[in-house]
Homo-oligomer: A and B are copies of this chain.
Amino acid sequence: MSAYASLTVHFGRIAAMSNAIGILQWDSDTMMPKGAASSRAESLALLRVLQHEMAAHPQLGEWLEAADGDAGVGDWERANLREIRRVWTAQTALPADLVEASSKAISACEMAWRQARADSNFLALLPFLAEVLRLQREAGAAKGEKLGLSPYDALLNDYEPGGRSEKIDALFDDLAAFLPGFTEQALAVQSRHPTPAPLEGPFAIEAQRGLGQRMMAALGYDFDRGRLDVSTHPFCGGADNDVRITTRYDEADFSKALMGVIHETGHALYEQGRPAAFMSQPVGQARGMVLHESQSLLMEMQACRSPEFLGFAAPLMREAFNASGPDWEAGALWRRYTRIERGFIRVDADEVTYPAHVILRYRLEKALIADTMPLSELPAAWNAGMRDLLGTVPPNDRLGCLQDIHWPSGGWGYFPTYTLGAIAAAQLFDAACQAEPDTLPGIARGDFAPLVGWLRTHVHAQGARLDTDELLTRATGRPLDAAVFKAHLARRYLAD
């Protein structure tokens, strides 16, 4: 067997292990009875250790060296070798004692965070978070040394391969200058319309589930290779050829579950559309979190808050909930789904104010990793940033710097991908509408095939073959760039 073939067999086994872990993780979040938690934690820990051992196996280094000279290795194969090398480097970059110390510090910090958030007590979190931060800095430095990157860029690289803070700084500085004035303007336009009262429920869960499944089917989700279930925190997970999404239902408000299902379906379409021939290989995986988030936001924000979509969805909503009246007309629903508000909580934010939440976190975590700001100053810096970027200051740390689990759980370098994803979503949707003129008319009929067909070709089926900017350039004519996103916001929120 050639060295390249040996590598693909080995990575096929790693994929089989990832698939097992993915389903067990899904089960933990959806089906598992509470008494099984500690047994399950042991099973997952064992499989993760075995997976790490497989991906960090010394033999891989030899195979990689030999495979570079393998004859007959084509375009995709070369890209696969590059991605294999990336995975192997990431898995071997950290000394085992750092991985273990980090895992323990994160477990302790997550526990402390739950209590600290409930009590709105940042000082109680501080020592735990300081330890996580210290180890993240160390991990970033260790990875950075191998890759020739700054510690922050090395952490970012885990979520967004090829992502660089220098580019993000430029994008975010531009947006940070644009958004406060824009938000002001958009709120002024919005104030000319009355604030709608909540739609009158209750909305039966079965009807909500049925409507969600109807939308998933319209978007092109393949139910033979996935499921829809319920979990406390919605996610898209599972395995190759088994992409499972979850939501949670609120009988008083069906929109959260509906828009959540559409968002997760966007993620799932990416996973279901990965290249079949490389499904279990590193080059067949999704490119990174920027494009992943672009696919969910493209569906949720670009496609499914459009007047066209609401023209299609309004009668289905009325039918599902046996509702009628002016509030249930497409136009009124569209106004409802494009309301904006200056809030404290990122996960509740609309697409206009969301970037401010992200830019704030990005700037803070970059300073903390670079050690140019003491962690003890986080609450004050948070509130100052909220004032500058959003014009509103949270009354306490529970609604401020304690709201997200990312930092306590070691997710440093993740936050920027949300807004980079929103920017990419605007760019890709615009390009799809131009390349496939039936995109929006299709959505108005409930036919997503023109849109999804274009995404399949230009995004999903590309796997990890290209880097994000190269993929975007081929698909949209330019690398990641906020111009289309800003134009989209202006069109949607400044028109009356």
Interface size class of A (residues with CB under 8 A): 35 or more
A42 to B20, CA, bound (A): 9
Among B31, B34, B223, which residue has its beta carbon within 8 angstroms of that of A31?
Answer: B31
Cβ-defined contact, B33 with A239, below 8 A: no
A19 to B225, CA, bound (A): 24
Closest to A224 in B: B35
Chain B residues with CB below 8 A from A44, complex form: 20
Cβ-defined contact, A40 with B19, below 8 A: yes
Number of copies of this chain in the oligomer?
2
Among B35, B47, B224, which residue has its beta carbon within 8 angstroms of that of A225?
Answer: B35
Cβ-defined contact, B225 with A46, below 8 A: no
Among B17, B31, B38, B39, which residue has its beta carbon within 8 angstroms of that of A46?
Answer: B17
A424-460 vs B, CB cutoff 8 Å, 1 = contact: the mask equals: 0000000000000000000000000000000000000
User: With an 8 A cutoff between CB atoms, is A486 at the interface?
Assistant: no
Closest to A17 in B: B46
User: With an 8 A cutoff between CB atoms, is A346 at the interface?
Assistant: no
A1 to B42, CA, bound (A): 20
**Which of A16, A36, A226, A239 is the most central at the interface, judged by chain B CB atoms within 10 Å of its CB?**
A36
Among B31, B34, B38, B240, which residue has its beta carbon within 8 angstroms of that of A39?
Answer: B240
User: With an 8 A cutoff between CB atoms, is A23 at the interface?
Assistant: yes
Closest to A44 in B: B20
Chain B residues with CB below 8 A from A371, complex form: none
User: With an 8 A cutoff between CB atoms, is A222 at the interface?
Assistant: yes
User: With an 8 A cutoff between CB atoms, is A164 at the interface?
Assistant: no
Chain B nearest CB, measured from A477 CB (Å): 35
User: With an 8 A cutoff between CB atoms, is A156 at the interface?
Assistant: no
Cβ-defined contact, A35 with B241, below 8 A: yes
Cβ-defined contact, A47 with B20, below 8 A: yes
Contacts known (A36-B242, A242-B32); A42 close to B16, Cβ less than 8 A: yes
A225-248 vs B, CB cutoff 8 Å, 1 = contact: the mask equals: 111000000000001111000000
A43 to B23, CA, bound (A): 10
Chain B residues with CB below 8 A from A45, complex form: 16
User: With an 8 A cutoff between CB atoms, is A27 at the interface?
Assistant: yes
Among B12, B24, B42, B46, which residue has its beta carbon within 8 angstroms of that of A24?
Answer: B24
User: With an 8 A cutoff between CB atoms, is A5 at the interface?
Assistant: no
**Which of A19, A39, A240 is the most central at the interface, judged by chain B CB atoms within 10 Å of its CB?**
A39
A36 to B241, CA, bound (A): 5
Chain B residues with CB below 8 A from A239, complex form: 36, 39-40, 43
A321-360 vs B, CB cutoff 8 Å, 1 = contact: the mask equals: 0000000000000000000000000000000000000000
Chain B residues with CB below 8 A from A43, complex form: 16-17, 19-20, 23, 239
Cβ-defined contact, B222 with A35, below 8 A: yes
Chain B residues with CB below 8 A from A225, complex form: 33, 35-36
User: With an 8 A cutoff between CB atoms, is A114 at the interface?
Assistant: no
Chain B residues with CB below 8 A from A23, complex form: 23-24, 27, 40, 43
User: With an 8 A cutoff between CB atoms, is A13 at the interface?
Assistant: yes
A28-65 vs B, CB cutoff 8 Å, 1 = contact: the mask equals: 00011111101110111111001000000000000000
A31 to B23, CA, bound (A): 10
Cβ-defined contact, B33 with A224, below 8 A: yes
Chain B nearest CB, measured from A446 CB (Å): 23
Chain B nearest CB, measured from A332 CB (Å): 36
Chain B residues with CB below 8 A from A16, complex form: 39, 42-43, 45-46
Chain B residues with CB below 8 A from A241, complex form: 35-36, 38-39
Chain B residues with CB below 8 A from A13, complex form: 46
A485 to B50, CA, bound (A): 49
Chain B residues with CB below 8 A from A42, complex form: 12, 16, 19
Cβ-defined contact, A39 with B27, below 8 A: no
Beyond A13-B46, A40-B239, 9 extra complex contacts between A and B, CB < 8 Å: A16-B42, A20-B20, A20-B44, A23-B40, A33-B242, A36-B239, A36-B240, A39-B239, A43-B239
A residues contacting B by CB (< 8 A) are 12-13, 16-17, 19-20, 23-24, 27, 31-36, 38-40, 42-47, 50, 222-227, 239-242
Q: Which 8 A-B pairs have the closest CB atoms?
A: A36-B242, A35-B225, A35-B224, A20-B43, A16-B46, A16-B42, A16-B43, A19-B43
